[in-house]
Amino acid sequence: MDKDIEQLAVDTVRTLSMDAVQRANSGHPGGPMGMADMAVVLWSRFLRVDPKSPTWPNRDRFVLSAGHASMLLYSMLHLAGYPLTIEDITNFRQWGYPTAGHPELDVALGIETTTGPLGQGLATGVGMALAEEKLRNSFGPELVNHRTFGIVSDGDIMEGVAIEAASLAGHLRLGKLLYLYDDNDITLDGPKEWSYSEDTLQRFAAAGWQTLAVDGHDRAAIAEAISAGIADDSRPTLISCKTHIAYGSPNKQDSSAAHGSPLGEEEIELVKAGYGWEYAPFHVPREVYTFFADALDGHRQESSEWERNLEMRLAGDAELAAAWHTHFGDKPFAVAVPEYEPDARVATRAMSGDVVNAVASDRSDFIGGSADLTPTNNTYINSSTNFSAEDRGGRNFRFGVREHGMGAIVNGINLHGGLRCFGATFLTFSDYMRGAIRLGALMGAPSIWVLTHDSIFLGEDGPTHQAVEHLAALRAIPNLWVIRPATAAEVAGGWEVALNRREGPTALVFSRQGMPAGGTDPVPVDKGAYPVREGSDAVLLATGSELETAIAAAEILGAEGKSVRVVSMPCREAFLAQDDSYRTEVLGNGIPVASLEAGVTFGWSDIVGSDGLAIGIDRFGASAPAAVLAEEFGFTGPQVADRLRDWLG
């Protein structure tokens, strides 16, 4: 290979990054300058992508977990031929351009996931590698056989979410996962030694990873290490690449000063002089474009051959075609309401478990798991086994006590494509994975969160486990739909909404205690709310287990001559998305509105209005049986009727 051309490519990446950060007067120039050698080696020699077919299912995935070094990724995407232009780069971090301060998901541009919060990219990539293993087991290596590569930083490896995910990746022996570690000993505060003294490679080796160490500016050594990682399919690989942040900067190399601030015009001139760079800002030598076009040409051919092979195989095998279209098509999910005895009282988590198994028997692309709470979350797929290092066919994922890691991994699986994956834990522990939930909502990832034990009524476990503020906290996340069902029909409808919602994630929130199962007729969960009892004097909204209490209170007031309409509102987000006519049909026009939910009242004024009544629990719970808690916190039918009576005068 012509090393002069490769060096020119490396310096192009560095200068584009410096110029863009300087133009924006904001950003992180040092990381891209230090990472450029490893990025050019990876993209020109190993990464199998086709910029002309960016959604090619069998492409390699690349994750820049060190999202602050976003200009590294934008430079590589531009040079590789993705539709990301020099104009986009010159407008780095500006309104209306795809070159955001931290990479944001856009597969058409080659950005496989949103990164920025450190550790999330590393953990999301674990999910992508896990999805590849699962799909390769289902369809064989002729159709599914690709790798997940990434670049991670010191900051990524410090984060707990990354270590949770790395631990599981090693345990599951995800051998098609390889990360280059930009080991530059610098964090934003200053030298890494101020806050970190662990042996990172030993830590990952203990977790079951192959670990290697090279000079991060020795491209031959980097290539040799990547080849060694690819050769070992039995373990994920972490390659420590010892680099200099702000490589070539006379005054800022190896300094945190280059981490989060532009170098300055004078320093850039000095750096470019050291590189022997004589071009104007944002200039790309023509031979660099040719270098990357030649490097990726074989992958374009492979992509086309793969498409032809897929078409031929599907045409000759009806069973394979049906399975492929189930996994990669857009066939909607249909969810039937489970049947119970007429007077049955069943926890909605148990109803959900029945739905999970019914869906799994119908759809081979449906998978999921729990953060060590499978029996209590009711999430086990009975017809399948556990996914493991020995059994890639299993559809049950044992995430262990790793809520945050599970959140990012589930996002990665769903971003990869071909699978619909859920993750489960207690509602109160959604706090542990909030970062992943929020990032999934930002990306529009269609992840599904099963969150059980949804209120103080889980009882004796006490306030540490009793969710109080969590429904409000989740509802505060834009683009996340929160569904809290009250009956079997609402549980089935909630699952159907979640499974068919492709533009964002959904949280399904279920009870520990038994509730009336109700009938088998479908209900409009997709509309968010609907009346279950008519009335004209007032409207009482309720979610989940409080629906039963709301009906009881309305019946008490009805006997006194007060007509109270009861509305079940399993999903506020879906209701607020409806048009004015439907909302008026449900809530009436000028009728007083109250809400009833065993959680903080924060946010309910958006629905009931400033003159409405929000009945909730604006404090932590207590350890006692559920019936005692209901009495003590005012959540019995007679107590709610008293509150409404006083309110209505």
List the domain boundaries for the chain.
3-297, 345-516, 526-648
How are beta strands 481-483 and 514-516 bridged, if at all?
unpaired
Dihedral of CA 221/224/226/229: which sign?
negative
Amino acid at 78: H
pLDDT in the model for residue 444: 98
The pLDDT confidence band at residue 38, using thresholds 50, 70 and 90, is: very high
* Alpha helix (H) residue ranges in 546-636: 546-559, 572-576, 580-587, 605-608, 626-632
Per-residue pLDDT, averaged over 136-141, amounts to 98
- Provide the 10 A C-beta neighbour count for residue 567: 24
The pLDDT confidence band at residue 556, using thresholds 50, 70 and 90, is: very high
**Among residues 516, 477, 509, 506, which one has the least CA distance to residue 597?**
509
Q: Please tell me which residue in 403, 490, 496, 573 is annotated as part of the active site.
A: 403
The C-alpha atoms of residue 152 and residue 384 are separated, in whole angstroms, by 35
**Catalytic site includes residue 503:** no
The pLDDT confidence band at residue 3, using thresholds 50, 70 and 90, is: low
The pLDDT confidence band at residue 316, using thresholds 50, 70 and 90, is: very high
* CA distances to 493, 529, 581, 587, 637 from 576, in Å: 17, 9, 12, 12, 27
Would you tell me the crossing angle of helices 3-24 and 286-316 to the nearest 10 degrees? 100
Q: Average pLDDT, whole number, for the chain?
A: 97
Convert 412-444 to b/e letters by CB count within 10 Å (16 or more is b). bbbbbebbbbbbbbbbbbbbbbbbbbbbbbbbb
Dihedral of CA 362/368/374/377: which sign?
negative
Q: Is the CATH number 3.40.50.970 carried by domain 345-516?
A: yes
The C-alpha atoms of residue 173 and residue 237 are separated, in whole angstroms, by 10
Residue 354 structure tokens: 């029945």
Same fold, 345-516 and 526-648: yes
Give percent of the chain with pLDDT exceeding 90: 97
pLDDT in the model for residue 186: 86
Assigned architecture for domain 3-297: 3-Layer(aba) Sandwich (3.40)
pLDDT in the model for residue 1: 41
How are beta strands 506-509 and 530-533 bridged, if at all?
unpaired
Amino acid at 522: P
Note the pLDDT tens digit of each residue in 499-545. 999 999 999 999 999 999 999 999 999 999 999 999 999 999 999 99
The CATH number of 526-648 is 3.40.50.920
Dihedral of the alpha carbons of 638, 642, 644, 649, in degrees to the nearest 10: 150
pLDDT in the model for residue 117: 97
Note the pLDDT tens digit of each residue in 59-91. 999 999 999 999 999 999 999 999 999 999 999
Say if residue 203's pLDDT is above 50: yes
Note the pLDDT tens digit of each residue in 219-273. 999 999 999 999 999 999 999 999 999 999 999 999 998 888 999 999 999 999 9
Say if residue 478's pLDDT is above 50: yes
